[in-house]
């Protein structure tokens, strides 16, 4: 059976992140992607130049339409923007696909520095979505905001992951890319296991959309019936390969090569 992944996120006109990256990722990994678009952005590799939110009622309508007709195996959320959008998305998911696993990428800041979630919405994100996430995938700055803990030292990530799990998240993947180290260490904490996933840092400017891509790859793996650790490991390998083979486009943070589906990256 085809793995059906519903993506609830914003659009990236540059094609490197957001809905566009999500769709490419899901399809590359042999899933079927559906979308509910939360915002339109005028965006390229240098930054976000404009944002037009989508009416929350229409976001709900998008979710209802695909859930009732096609069905949903996993939901992945990305850019949500404000409290009204988060409340609309949470309500729609509870009504239309309450049993579907949920991967929450708590998108707060774009790679170029633009804020993609206002301060008033952080509480709603924590209580309405992060608290019911099957997998929560914050980077270090996002994990600090959501947990309320400073993560200056690697040892503090365990405390942050524990706090986020206490809030309700089933599993937490704290991404370690925002450090200066030549080794990137991600921490995955599940109900039963703790994994430190480590690799050499790729020194490349082509890293636009890595968070969106990773979360969507994880969601696809879960939709295909993979265990959490396996889904995350494949997603990390896919993102790394997509960075290694990036097309080197644009003048800022370049997009990945989402078409890298050779060898172990195939479903």
In a domain, 262, yes or no: no
Per-residue pLDDT of the chain (267 residues), as tens digits, is 799 999 999 999 999 999 999 999 999 999 999 999 999 999 999 999 999 999 999 999 999 999 999 999 999 999 998 999 999 999 999 999 999 999 999 988 666 656 677 778 889 999 999 999 999 999 998 999 999 999 888 889 999 999 999 999 999 999 987 776 778 899 999 999 999 999 899 999 999 999 999 999 999 999 999 999 999 999 999 999 999 999 999 999 999 999 997 455 454
Q: How many CA atoms lie within 13 A of 42 on its CB side?
A: 4
264 domain residue, yes or no:
no
Q: What is the pLDDT of residue 267?
A: 45
CATH code of residue 39: 3.40.1190.20
- Whether 224 is covered by a domain: the verdict is yes
Pairing of the two strands 31-44 and 3-12: parallel
Would you state the pLDDT for residue 211?
Answer: 95
Query: Is 93 a member of any domain?
Result: yes
Cβ neighbors of 113 (< 8 A, separation 6 or more) are 47
Q: Would residue 267 count as lying in a domain?
A: no
Positive or negative, the CA dihedral 255, 260, 261, 267 is: negative
User: Angle at which helices 18-28 and 210-223 pack, to 10 degrees?
Assistant: 40
Mean residue pLDDT of the chain comes to: 92
Question: Is 244 among the domain residues?
Answer: yes
Rounded CA separation 154/49 (Å): 34
The boundaries of the domain holding residue 175 are 3-257
* Residue 159 in domain: yes
pTM score, whole prediction: 0.94
| Number of structural domains the chain divides into | 1
SS (H, E, C) 5-53: EEEEEEEECCCCCHHHHHHHHHHHCCEEEEEEEEEEEEEECCEEEEEEE
Q: Is residue 183 situated within a structural domain?
A: yes
């Amino acid at each position: 059976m085809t793995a059906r992944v519903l993506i609830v996120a914003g659009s990236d006109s540059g094609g490197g992140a957001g809905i566009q990256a999500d769709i490419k990722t899901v399809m590359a990994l042999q899933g079927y992607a559906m979308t509910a678009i939360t915002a339109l952005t005028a965006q390229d590799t240098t930054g976000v130049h404009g944002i037009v939110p989508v009416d929350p009622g229409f976001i709900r309508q998008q979710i209802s339409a695909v859930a009732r007709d096609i069905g949903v195996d996993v939901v992945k959320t990305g850019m949500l923007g404000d409290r009204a959008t988060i409340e609309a998305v949470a309500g729609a998911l509870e009504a239309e696909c309450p049993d579907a696993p949920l991967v929450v990428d708590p998108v707060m800041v774009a790679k170029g520095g633009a804020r993609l979630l206002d301060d008033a919405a952080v509480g709603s994100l924590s209580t309405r979505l992060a608290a019911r996430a099957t997998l929560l995938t914050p980077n270090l700055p996002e994990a600090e905001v959501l947990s309320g803990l400073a993560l200056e030292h690697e040892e503090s990530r365990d405390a942050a992951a524990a706090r986020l799990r206490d809030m309700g998240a089933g599993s937490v993947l704290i991404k370690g890319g925002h450090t200066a180290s030549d080794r990137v260490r991600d921490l995955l904490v599940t109900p039963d296991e703790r994994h430190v996933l480590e690799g050499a840092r790729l020194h490349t400017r082509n890293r636009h959309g890595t968070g969106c891509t990773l979360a969507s790859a994880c969601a696809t793996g879960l939709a295909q019936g993979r265990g959490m650790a396996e889904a995350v490991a494949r997603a990390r390998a896919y993102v790394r390969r997509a960075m290694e083979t990036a097309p080197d486009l644009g003048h800022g943070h370049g997009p990945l090569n989402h078409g890298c589906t050779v060898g172990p990256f195939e479903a």
